[in-house]
Amino acid sequence: LKDININWREKMKNTLPKDFLWGGAIAANQCEGAYLENGKGLSPVDILPGGPKLRNEALEDVKKAMNTDYGYYPSHISIDFFHKFKEDIKLFKEMGFKCLRTSICWARIFPNGDNLEPNEEGLKFYDALIDELIKNNIEPVITINHFDTPLELTKKYGGWKDKRLIDFYARYCEVLFKRYKGKVKYWMTFNEINIILHIPSFGGGLVFEEGENKKQVMYQSAHHQLVASALATKIGHEIDSENMIGCMLAAGTVYPNTCNPNDILAAQAANRENYFFIDVQSKGEYPSYSKRMLEELGVTLEISEDEKKILKEHTVDYIGFSYYSSRLRSADPEVMKNIKDGNAFASLTNPYLKESEWGWTIDPTGLRITMNELYDRYNKPLFIVENGLGAIDKIETDGSINDDYRIDYLRQHIEQMKEGVKDGVNLLGYTPWGCIDLVSAGTGQMSKRYGFIYVDKDDDGNGTLKRSKKKSFNWYKNVISSNGDEL
């Protein structure tokens, strides 16, 4: 009996498969810099200033930013990953990364977005990056579009509100799938596809005209992206049947504020607002609830029969998602007056949970709940492609950075992730966000750091860009080498 007990314990310990994809996540627009090198065109992020206040104002309408000289643009140099990627990959390798999630910048490949031919110099950069990863046995996981639809497409077509972007995007995808055939297997079509409803300039390169019905524009643009994503899935599978093409959701379950059925209903509606996107990408059709949902928003979608067919026939292979927080909703307008905008997603304060310095709710159990919900709903492999704590790090006089708060956050989330796997979820991997410090998407700051690797640079753009290991570096290294047993 004793032996059986020990065996059972051992078995429960190793919950994660041997080939589990441990790694980290970054994105071109927040780390590469070199914003005009090798023929790159501009991305929306290249005209957005540093600092939360100015940035929020400019984010609301990229058009405003296009006409204003704000001075300091964090993406221009960023952490200069463009020139330093070999050095950084060496550090990722030292941590034992099995994969690295990064994105390709569309404007490096098609500077205007609608060019007929790709920019060879831009492709050469990604050739070198992907080859370097493979050389180090790190599997590249590629996001095709992470908040950087080329700015020229916004100027000329108004971003994703124009149907023609579907073809431009398909052309871009085809180039990538052909070029990286046999080298890249894991792809994601759009980062946080649901963000278009919250930060439309990032999600859809959208600017609004006076008097335009914003909801109508956002949902029609979302439809174009959903079709583009399905088309990419088609092209990707045709070019290489080994390709795993996924979607990517900004996830985080919405809880009801109380057990009042009206609150439950409000939370359900808020969840559907997010799942709507993945319902289409995963099940191949608009969900039945969307008819009433869109009607009540005053939205009428233009959808052709051909588009319906493409959506139906080319669903995704896996569900990638980011998880930072759960959220809280009430049906009571009085209660909802207390809602806080914790960056992109608004939420009430959950009295059972703590918050980060940026007011993001910290809820490790919510990760397990979210995993279970997504898996129950879609029954496709999941991939946690973002998770982490944005925090201010302090450098001690001896140069060390003791980020125990980050270790605690990640430990608790990995514990719950393992519980989710024990619950039966098929999970491909885990890539914490910003494994090396980079520019924050929401606030344009460097001081909101996520990394295991510190980068010497401040909010005004000063610093040597020198890399150094934080305490969490060796901690995560050990997590990976023990396959998540030692936390």
Options 262-270, 278-286, 293-301, 440-448: segment touching ligand BGP (CB under 6 A): 440-448
The closest alpha carbon to 42, from 103, 101, 106, 86, belongs to 106
Size of the site for ligand BGP (CB under 6 A): 15
Phi, psi of 449 (to 5 degrees): -105, 145
- Contact indicator for 420, 368 with CB cutoff of 8 Å: yes
User: Is there binding between residue 27 and ligand BGP (CB under 6 A)?
Assistant: yes
Which range of residues in 254-262, 308-316, 438-446, 476-484 is near ligand BGP by CB under 6 A? 438-446
Q: Which stretch binds ligand BGP (CB under 6 A): 156-164, 231-239, 435-443, 453-461?
A: 435-443
Per CB under 6 A, 437 contacts ligand BGP: no
CA distance linking residue 193 with residue 184, whole number of Å: 21
Interaction between residue 443 and ligand BGP (CB under 6 A): yes
Tokens of 135: 């050389």
Q: Interface with ligand BGP includes 403 (CB under 6 A)?
A: no
Q: Which is closer to ligand BGP, CB of 257 or CB of 443?
A: 443
Question: Which secondary-structure segment (H or E) carries 303?
Answer: none
Spatial distance between the Cα atoms of 57 and 181, rounded to a whole number of angstroms: 41
Give the other-Cβ count within 10 Å of 282's Cβ: 21
The only residue of 75, 233, 322, 416 in contact with ligand BGP, by rule CB under 6 A = 322
CB closer to ligand BGP out of 250 and 384: 250
Shortest distance (Å) from residue 289 CB to ligand BGP: 25
Closest CA to 30 of 79, 72, 65: 79
Dist CA 159 CA 154 (whole Å): 4
Largest distance between two CA atoms of the chain: 75
Nearest distance from C-beta of residue 105 to ligand BGP, angstroms: 13
In this structure, are residues 381 and 282 in contact, taking their beta carbons and an 8 Å threshold? no
For position 111 contacting ligand BGP by CB under 6 A, the verdict is: no
For ligand BGP, give the closer residue by CB, 126 or 433. 433
The answer for 35, left when phi > 0, alpha when psi is -120 to 50, beta otherwise, is alpha
Contacts (CB under 6 A) with ligand BGP, residues 330-389: 343, 386
The verdict on 191 binding ligand BGP (CB under 6 A) reads yes
Type and span of the H or E element at 256: strand 254-256
- Which one of 68-76, 131-139, 226-234, 437-445 is the stretch in contact with ligand BGP (CB under 6 A)? 437-445
Helix (H) or strand (E) holding 274: helix 261-283
Of 386, 396, 419, 486, the active-site residue reads 386
- 357 catalytic? Reply is no
Contact of 370 with 304, CB cutoff 8 Å:
no
- Give residues 205-264 in contact with ligand BGP (rule: CB under 6 A): 250
> Looking at 126-134, 306-314, 439-447, 470-478, which segment touches ligand BGP (CB under 6 A)?
439-447
Q: Which is nearer to ligand BGP, 55 or 467 (CB)?
A: 55
- 107 within 8 A of 43, measured Cβ to Cβ: yes
Where along the sequence are the contacts to ligand BGP (CB under 6 A)?
Answer: 27, 30, 191-192, 250, 322, 343, 386, 390, 433, 440-443, 448
Positions annotated as catalytic residues are 386
